[in-house]
């Protein structure tokens, strides 16, 4: 499909693409446009982690907390993600559970080695591009706004050393 686009529009050279977590799409884009930055959707990121937790039958509160902490890693400033990962792995030191070991291996292989960034959903991104001054007023977007404010406040507390990386990850869980 991307080959067809470049055939029809030869000057098409995107710098950034917003996509979900389909690796086939990412690989195709990277092959055709080696310098492209693929930005991931936070919703699809967390959804993929919870799906993996479900396939591993991770049900107990302690293990689900670890999955939730992993979901919050991209909300950290980029230079603190590995500190957050260390916090999560330290939290697992006392947990002797094969399922969580498999989950953490999966997370490390597919997400931690790649750049994980929090980005807005496609719908929010398009609405900002198409109508930058228009306020979004539906209930779902109000929920996102509340969550975004919580994230921003937690990030400010983290950056001003009011809370630790571990407290940050737990606070947003």
Instruction: Give per-residue pLDDT as tens, 30-89.
Output: 888 888 887 777 788 888 899 999 999 999 999 999 999 999 988 888 788 889 999 999
DSSP code for 46:
H
Q: How far is CA 160 from CA 117, 149, 165, in A?
A: 21, 16, 12
pLDDT at 162 over 80: yes
Count Cβ atoms below 10 Å from residue 60 Cβ, excluding itself: 12
Q: What is the distance of C-alpha 121 from the center of its chain?
A: 11
Q: Which range, 46-50, 111-115, 117-121, 129-133, is most confident? A: 46-50
Whether 19 contacts 40, CB under 8 Å: yes
135 secondary structure, DSSP code: P
pTM recorded for the entire structure? 0.67
Q: Kindly indicate the confidence band of residue 134, based on its pLDDT and cuts at 50, 70 and 90.
A: low
Query: Which distant-in-sequence residues (6+ apart) come within 8 Å of 85 by Cβ?
Result: 73, 108, 112
């Amino acid at each position: 499909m991307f080959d067809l686009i470049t055939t029809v529009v030869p000057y098409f050279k995107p710098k950034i693409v917003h996509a979900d977590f389909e690796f086939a799409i990412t690989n195709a884009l990277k092959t055709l446009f080696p310098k492209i930055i693929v930005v991931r959707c936070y919703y699809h990121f967390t959804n993929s982690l919870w799906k993996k937790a479900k396939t591993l039958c991770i049900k107990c509160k302690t293990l689900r907390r670890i999955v939730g902490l992993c979901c919050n890693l991209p909300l950290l400033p980029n230079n603190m993600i590995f500190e957050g990962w260390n916090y999560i792995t330290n939290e697992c030191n006392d947990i002797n559970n094969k399922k969580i070991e498999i989950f953490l291996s999966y997370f490390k292989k597919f997400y931690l080695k790649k750049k994980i960034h929090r980005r807005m959903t496609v719908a929010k991104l398009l609405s900002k591009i198409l109508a930058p001054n228009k306020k979004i007023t539906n209930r779902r977007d109000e929920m996102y706004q509340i969550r975004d404010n919580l994230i921003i406040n937690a990030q400010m507390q983290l950056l001003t050393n009011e809370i630790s990386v571990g407290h940050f990850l737990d606070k947003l869980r």
